[in-house]
A and B are shown apart, each in its own frame.
Chain A
Amino acid sequence: MKLLIKNAAKIMMFLLATLVITGGATSCKSKKKLAREKAAAEYTMKVEQSKKDLTAMLNGTTTWTLDEQDTRLNTIKSYNIDDAEVIDLISKVETKISKDRAEEERKAEEERLRLEEENRIKNTESKYQTIDNKLNTIAISSSTEAANNQIKTILTEFATPDVPVLIIISNAGGFNDYDRPTTISKFLNYLKDKQQYNYKVDMVKRDTLGKIIELELIKK
């Protein structure tokens, strides 16, 4: 009886130890499984999110800037997702971003050139505005006598009364088409007769004394 009790205690101890060992092993196994499942779920989510973002970038429905799109694309690429659809989308988005970037650069260059031209015109306008105003004064003179006095004053700014005046009637197709050249004296009298100044000074050439030796106008 004593022996039976002693053996039973041993058996119990053995069973308990087996239970503990088996139980611990089973618990470790399920944790790994859970971790694997969690990782798989995260991966799937990453793939789905990547597809969503890439599609939005491709369709142009995102509000991200090109730089932000570039950053997001690089992040997605760093995932090394092994999915045919994602790989195809990455390639398409890469092409689209580089196209958009080229378009953005083209627009920026166009804008720069437009501003440059605007400034050039503004500078030219202000540069020749005084001459334009003086020529206009002749056209709007109240009488022949007033116009003649104005002509006398303006002529002092020219080297001679025979200084050539060129009038551009069209600059289409890269050619300057001119009217028959005239002289400043005839042109000033023409303004007096016509009582209209429908031109804009386009170019002025001066001699070393600052007197005008050639005047080029463009018809408005």
Chain B
Amino acid sequence: MKFSYFWIVVIILGLSFSANAQDELSSERKQAVDSLAIEKVRDLSKYISIVGSKETPWSEANRVIDRAEELFMSGSEIGVSSITKAEISYYSVRKYFERLMRLNYKKVEIEWYNIEYMSDLQKQPDGTYVGVITIFQKFKGYDAEGRLVYQDTTKKDITVYVKRKETQIGGRLIGFWDVLLGDMRVKETSK
């Protein structure tokens, strides 16, 4: 009987070691997770330019808003600034995209560049990796005559949360990295 207990303990220890080994990141795996988080920010950039574009059909824009919402942790906010106003307004993700869809320009161009880590992903006591990614956004708004009527460049910081999770798919236990974006804070706005 004692012998059976011994083996049960050994098996449990073995399984927990294996689970820990999968949670611990080698530099190669860490690099893949870092790239995954950057990729999610690039996805957001793409969604913003699709929704912002006046050529995007309404149904497509709504579908993209749904996808964009899935990138964020619930309750996240996006900061909006302007060179004409000093204050920065914060909106929920859906509200931000709905406002973006309704912007009063004939044509909108939004481009993100210099997307990079401001602070690397760091493991927190609860196992979540948290980092901050900085982006620069160039916004251009044109009127019906095709004239550039507004433009600004904004530096924004996006908090990124990465956590290892598990799910059952086709009878297999799949360990995956769940990347979620947090608040997007405006750091600087210039012409």
Contact of B177 among A166, A173, A178, A186 (CB under 8 A): A178
Residues of B53-77 at the interface with A, using a CB-CB cut-off of 8 Å, are 56-57, 60, 63-64, 67
Instruction: Say yes or no: B177 contacts A180, CB within 8 Å.
Output: yes
Select A170's contact among B29, B46, B57, B179, beta carbons within 8 Å: B29
Compute the total of residue contacts between A and B using a CB distance below 8 Å: 70
Q: Which residue of A lies closest to B36 (CB)?
A: A169
Contact B36 A166 (CB under 8 A): no
In the bound complex, residues from chain B placing their C-beta under 8 Å from that of A193 are: 43, 46-47, 50, 64, 67
B interface majority secondary structure: helix
* Nearest-CB residue, chain A, relative to B63: A189
Q: Which of B88-96, B103-111, B134-142, B166-174 contacts A (4 or more CB under 8 A)?
A: B166-174
Q: Are A170 and B28 in contact (CB under 8 A)?
A: yes
Q: Mark A186-220, 1 if CB is under 8 A from B, else 0.
A: 10011001100000000001000000011000000
Whole-angstrom distance between the Cβ of A182 and the nearest chain B Cβ: 9
B124 within 8 A of A: no
Interface size class of A (residues with CB under 8 A): 20 to 34
Give B65 Cβ to nearest chain A Cβ, in Å: 12
A172 pairs with B178, CB closer than 8 A: no
Contact assessment for A179 and B174 in the assembled complex, using a CB-CB cutoff below 8 Å: no
Q: How many interface residues does chain B have, given as a range?
A: 20 to 34
- Shortest Cβ distance from A190 into B: residue: B67
**A161 in the interface, Cβ–Cβ < 8 Å?**
no
Instruction: Tell me if B22 is interfacial: C-beta within 8 Å of chain A.
Output: yes
| Min distance, Cβ B178 to any Cβ of chain A, angstroms | 5
Residues of A within 8 A of B190 (CB): none
In the bound complex, CA of A193 to CA of B45 (Å):
11
A214 and B169 contact, Cβ closer than 8 Å, known pairs A170-B32, A175-B29, A179-B176:
yes
Closest-CB distance, A214 to chain B (whole angstroms): 5
Cα–Cα, bound, A77→B135 (Å): 77
Q: A169-B35, A190-B67 are known contacts. Are A213 and B170 too (CB-CB below 8 A)?
A: yes
Minimum C-beta distance from B69 to chain A (A):
13
- A177 and B177 contact, Cβ closer than 8 Å, known pairs A164-B170, A169-B36: yes
B186 within 8 A of partner (CB): no
B175 within 8 A of A: yes
> Is A179's CB under 8 angstroms from B177's CB?
yes
Complex alpha-carbon distance, A194 and B40, angstroms = 11
Indicate if B160 sits at the interface (CB-CB under 8 A).
no
Chain B residues with CB below 8 A from A175, complex form: 21-22, 29, 175
Decide if A173 touches B35 in the complex (CB within 8 Å). no
User: Residues of B with Cβ closer than 8 Å to A?
Assistant: 21-22, 26, 28-29, 31-33, 35-36, 43, 46-47, 50, 56-57, 60, 63-64, 67, 165, 167, 169-170, 174-179
Sample 5 A-B pairs with CB under 8 A, ordered by A number: A170-B29, A178-B174, A178-B176, A181-B167, A181-B169
Q: Which 6 A-B pairs have the closest CB atoms?
A: A170-B32, A178-B176, A172-B28, A169-B32, A164-B169, A214-B170
